Amino acid sequence: MTMIPKRFTEQALTEWMKGEGPESDIVISSRVRIARNLRDYPYPMLATNQQSREVLDKLSAVMQHEDLKEISHFTLIPLADMNELQKMVLVEKHLISPNLANESRNGAVILSDNESVSIMVNEEDHLRIQCLYPGFQIKEAWDLANQVDDVFEKKLEYGFDERRGYLTSCPTNVGTGIRASVMMHLPGLVLSQQISRILTAVTQVGLAVRGIYGEGSEALGNLFQISNQITLGQSEEEIIDNLYGVAKQIIEHERAARQKLVQEWKMRIVDRVNRSLGILSHAAIMDSKEAAQRLSDVRLGIDLNIIRGVSPYVLNELMVMTQPGFLQQIAGEKLSPDERDIRRAQLIRERFAASQHA
């Protein structure tokens, strides 16, 4: 059984999240994910136990490649060696998908030391390379993902078709196999009631809008994930450039919306963010939905210089620490929803107090 380094499941704020990154008041993170499959092996959902084991062995062997070691030191963690809470925490940290946590045969994750690279094995595809950067660094995330992909492609034969490109389990990923996304905090557009118009325009140019945990998830805390939908018929660079251009426009709209809020509703905004700060600092019970909204208000207050003395890093940390899996990991036991709400409120109070005294 693999010993799982505690930092992967017990530290909410990963090294890559500690970086500032460009436009970090609006863009929380940038991510690129590449889907690949090995030639001559069935997709994970159709593979036998023996076949998926062989895929895992082939992919884990690439970890010894010098070119990969030059990028970072990596740790392979079979999902069979993890308990349910540990898997839940990795989902909450965006290091693995719910699909890999719940349904994988011979599934594993290969993590770089700072967790900026996460490689999922035997999820929907044999190999899913994910690279995460703080702030608006989608081009940098693509460069890193491409480097990692090149190492694997040197050692393995991918499923590839001259006309269709890289072959994937889901037809919507065929072609480049790339999904690029930016996680954006857009309270200005939400409060000024412009968000629906903006997001409708985004979908009309071939991009998708999802919540914080991807497809089917809710946009809690005014956090929206903007990503490409088209993977076939465009080059990787065209996909990245299109997302970059649209995200740049959304950033400009959000800045204008925030400025207008300060000019026209200053006391309302001051009241809103300070109320949320007061509630977060003193509440005895808090559910995850309210926590996300209050943390969004405080983050807006920090960005508008209404609130001082609270670090944005604390907010990034609490985004993960207030999730059900992490709360139970800290407690060392399963908690009922009511118990989680009490623990969540206590944790937020403690973190805010520590931040303001630091």
- Same-domain check for residues 21 and 168: yes
Alpha carbon distance, N-terminus to C-terminus of the chain: 40
The answer to the question of whether 32 is labelled as a binding residue is: yes
Position 242 scores a pLDDT of 92
Tokens of 121: 């094995």
Q: What distances in angstroms separate CA 341 from CA 219, 283, 323, 324, 326, one per listed residue? A: 20, 10, 10, 9, 13
Position 317 scores a pLDDT of 84
Does residue 93 lie within any of the structural domains? yes
Range of the domain at 112: 12-175
Position 330 scores a pLDDT of 86
The answer to the question of whether 30 is labelled as a binding residue is: yes
Position 221 scores a pLDDT of 87
Position 15 scores a pLDDT of 67
Q: Which of 14-28, 82-96, 144-158, 275-289 has the lowest mean pLDDT?
A: 14-28
Q: What is the CATH number of the domain that holds 24?
A: 3.30.590.10
Does residue 294 lie within any of the structural domains? yes
- Same-domain check for residues 147 and 18: yes
Position 358 scores a pLDDT of 52
Q: What is the 3-state secondary structure (H, E, C) of 265-281?
A: HHHHHHHHHHHHHHHHH
Could you tell me where the DSSP H helices lie in the chain?
6-10, 49-61, 66-71, 84-92, 98-103, 138-155, 187-191, 195-204, 236-282, 288-303, 312-321, 324-331, 337-357
The answer to the question of whether 181 is labelled as a binding residue is: yes
Banded pLDDT at 19 (limits 50, 70, 90):
low
Position 218 scores a pLDDT of 55
- Same-domain check for residues 166 and 280: no
- Same-domain check for residues 19 and 136: yes
- The pLDDT tens digits for 56-68 are 999 999 988 888 9
Position 216 scores a pLDDT of 45
Residue 35, pLDDT above cutoff 50: yes
- Same-domain check for residues 167 and 298: no
Position 214 scores a pLDDT of 47
- Name residue 210's beta-bridge partners: 225
Q: What distances in angstroms separate CA 340 from CA 53, 158, 297, 320, one per listed residue? A: 37, 44, 22, 14
Does residue 344 lie within any of the structural domains? yes
Does residue 238 lie within any of the structural domains? no
Last residue of a domain, one of 175, 210, 236: 175
Residue 13, pLDDT above cutoff 50: yes
- Same-domain check for residues 56 and 170: yes
Model pTM score: 0.89
Position 229 scores a pLDDT of 84
The answer to the question of whether 53 is labelled as a binding residue is: no
Last residue of a domain, one of 142, 175, 208: 175
- The pLDDT tens digits for 268-323 are 999 999 999 999 999 999 999 999 999 999 999 999 999 988 887 788 888 888 98
Position 42 scores a pLDDT of 94
The answer to the question of whether 215 is labelled as a binding residue is: yes
Integer-rounded Cα Rg, in Å, for the chain is: 21
The answer to the question of whether 94 is labelled as a binding residue is: yes
- The pLDDT tens digits for 92-134 are 888 999 989 987 689 999 999 989 999 999 999 999 999 999 9
Is 95 within 8 Å of 101 (Cβ atoms)? no
Does residue 204 lie within any of the structural domains? no
The answer to the question of whether 190 is labelled as a binding residue is: no
- Same-domain check for residues 18 and 163: yes
Number of domains in the chain: 2
Last residue of a domain, one of 175, 203, 224: 175
The answer to the question of whether 210 is labelled as a binding residue is: yes
Does residue 123 lie within any of the structural domains? yes
Does residue 117 lie within any of the structural domains? yes
Tokens of 104: 């994988």
- Same-domain check for residues 31 and 147: yes
The answer to the question of whether 212 is labelled as a binding residue is: yes
- Same-domain check for residues 156 and 304: no
The answer to the question of whether 105 is labelled as a binding residue is: no
Full DSSP string of 128-144: EEEEEEESS-HHHHHHH
- Same-domain check for residues 129 and 278: no
Query: Rounded CA gap, 298 and 317, in Å?
Result: 14
Q: Give which of 180, 197, 80 is closest to 133, Cα–Cα.
A: 180
Position 100 scores a pLDDT of 92
Whose tokens are 């500032």? That residue is 20
Tokens of 192: 């000024």
Tokens of 303: 């960005």
The answer to the question of whether 213 is labelled as a binding residue is: yes
- Same-domain check for residues 136 and 21: yes
The answer to the question of whether 118 is labelled as a binding residue is: no
- The pLDDT tens digits for 164-216 are 888 988 888 888 899 999 999 999 999 999 998 998 999 888 899 886 544 44
The answer to the question of whether 34 is labelled as a binding residue is: no
Position 357 scores a pLDDT of 54
Burial of 197 (0-12, 13-18, 19+ CB in 10 A): exposed
Mean pLDDT in the chain? Answer: 89
- Same-domain check for residues 274 and 164: no
Does residue 308 lie within any of the structural domains? yes
